[in-house]
Structure 1
Amino acid sequence: MNDSPEEAIDLGRKLATFSEHWQPRTVATFNGHDIMVVKVKGEFVWHSHDDTDDLFLVLHGNLRIELEDRTVRLGPGQLFVVPRGAAHRPVADEEAHLLLIEPTGTPNTGDPATAATRRTI
């Protein structure tokens, strides 16, 4: 991370540094949690996190979070917390930009064997 703790982190500038979808980038840490930005498009895999809730905050675009019993629709400035253990699948018909907050080391698929490599920018 190139930003010093005394400087604001420009999320738009961070998002402009990559184009891959479903590959979160850590932009800061906070009390043992990674604050990440990610570009998403299409369907992610159904998964759950046994040890933590899953927070999604939409910065740009629209996101659906499909749950077993319902679908939550989010637009810019809206967030949703998936409870720990709940199976879910994020879906974006068009590219969307998200902010995620997770305990450091949480695999994005819920399974370390299939998770994206955590990158810091």
Structure 2
Amino acid sequence: MKIVTDARTFRADRAWGARDLAEIEGATVRLHWTDQPYRWHVNDGAEVFLVLEGEVEMRYRQGGQEKAVRLGPADMFIAEVGDEHVAHPQGEARILVVERKGSV
């Protein structure tokens, strides 16, 4: 059993550092901290991205055009297989990510 009481204050030693919380039938649940953008990527499985603290501008490509949405606490972005995307935190952010184990 695990009880997580610091999700809003967790801080990793580097941008996109994470704490592994659980593995569920091949999927990982990880708590990330960052203050830097990630990189454009495509996951090999679906990804659920839940902002816990802070704001994140999620950029994605759809129909050959780059689009963006601003996410705040309790907002989610769900990327399906093949969805190209990148997260740009606006300051510090804490994010819960559920994705296939070993995914980018």
- Please tell me the root mean square deviation across aligned C-alpha atoms, in Å: 2.0
Aligned to 1:10: 4
Can you give the 5+ residue segments of structure 2 that lack an aligned partner in the other structure? none
8 Å CA contact retained: 1:11, 1:37: no
From 85, 94, 97, the counterpart of 2:94: 97
Shift of 1:77: 0.9
8 Å CA contact retained: 1:54, 1:83: yes
**2:97 is the alignment partner of 1:106:** no
Instruction: Give the TM-score normalised by structure 2.
Output: 0.82
After the TM superposition, list the runs of 4 or more consecutive aligned residues in structure 1 that deviate by more than 4 angstroms: none
8 Å CA contact retained: 2:34, 2:94: yes
Aligned to 1:86: 83
Give identity over the alignment, percent. Answer: 26
Q: Which has the higher strand share?
A: 2
Distance 1:13 1:56 in 2: 14
Distance 2:9 2:24 in 1: 19
